[in-house]
Structure 1
Amino acid sequence: MPEVKMTFINLPVRDLNESITFFTKMGFSFNPEYTDENATCMIINKTTFIMLLVEPFFNQFLTDTKVSDCKTTTSVITALLVDSKEEVDSLYGKALQAGGEEGNCLDGNGMYNKSFRDLNGHVFELVYMNN
Structure 2
Amino acid sequence: MPQLIFINLPVTDLPRSIAFYEAVGATKNPMFSDDTAACMVVSDVIHVMLLTHDKWRTFTDRQIPDAHVSAQVMLCLSQASREAVDAVVDQAGGAGGRIDPNATQDYGFMYGRSYADPDGHIWEVMWMDPAAVSAGPEAVAADATAA
TM-score (norm 1): 0.92
Give the corresponding residue for 1:126.
Answer: 125
Question: Higher relative contact order by CA 8 Å / sep ≥ 6: 1 or 2?
Answer: 1
Give the root-mean-square deviation of aligned CA atoms.
1.5
Shift of 1:57: 0.5
Q: Does 1:85 align with 2:89?
A: no
Give the corresponding residue for 2:110.
Answer: 111
Amino acid at match of 1:48: I
Where 1:86 maps in the other structure, the secondary structure is: helix
In the alignment, the residues of structure 1 paired with residue 44 and residue 108 of structure 2 have an alpha-carbon distance, to the nearest angstrom, of: 29
Gaps of 5+ in 2: 134-147
Larger Cα-atom Rg = 2
Shift of 1:27: 2.1
Shift of 1:55: 0.8
Shift of 1:19: 0.4
Task: Provide runs of 4+ in structure 1 moved above 2 Å.
Answer: none
- Taking the TM superposition and a 5 Å limit, the aligned residue runs for 1:1-131 are 5-63=3-61, 65-102=62-99, 103=101, 104-108=103-107, 110-130=109-129, 131=133
More strand by share: 1
Amino acid at match of 1:73: S
Where 2:125 maps in the other structure, the secondary structure is: strand
Amino acid at match of 1:113: G
In the alignment, the residues of structure 1 paired with residue 71 and residue 33 of structure 2 have an alpha-carbon distance, to the nearest angstrom, of: 26
Q: What's the % identity of the aligned pairs?
A: 33
Where 1:9 maps in the other structure, the secondary structure is: strand
TM-score (norm 2): 0.82
CA offset digits 1:48-73 (Å, max 9, x no partner): 1110101110011113x210011110
More helix by share: 2
